[in-house]
Amino acid sequence: MGSLPPKHTRDGSGGGINDNISSMNNTTYRGIYMYEHANYSGFSYYARPRSEDDDLTNNDFDNVASSIRFL
Ligand SMILES: [Ca+2]
Ligand SMILES: [Ca+2]
């Protein structure tokens, strides 16, 4: 057949994520903040150390996170 389809490229500037996270699994012993916008701004979601959340829709944070900060 023809050529391969173009690869999907992620355009997250600064962090490598951009509105792609629907669940999280914090396997570290540090708290993690996820922020609505790049550069740690906007609405934030806090993940406790050693916690997981397989559904961020009920946190109003589905496909929202654009930056992450480890405490
Ligand atoms: Ca949740
Ligand atoms: Ca965002």
Ligand lying nearest the CA atom of residue 64 = 2
The reported pLDDT for the residue numbered 12 is 44
> Is the model's pLDDT at 41 over the cut of 70?
yes
Name residue, tokens 């903040």: 33
**What's the Rg (C-alpha) of the chain?**
14
61, HSE (Cβ side, Cα atoms, 13 Å): 23
Of the listed ligands, the closest to the CA of 38 is 2
**Residue 18 Cα, ligand 2 centroid: separation in angstroms?**
6
* Section 52-62 average pLDDT: 97
Task: Measure 34 CA to ligand 2 centroid, in angstroms.
Answer: 10
Closest CA to 45 of 10, 26, 28: 26
For all residues of the chain together, what is the average pLDDT?
87
Q: What is the pLDDT of residue 17?
A: 77
Mind listing the pLDDT tens digit for each residue in 2-13? Answer: 666 555 444 444
Lowest average pLDDT, out of 1-5, 17-21, 56-60, goes to: 1-5
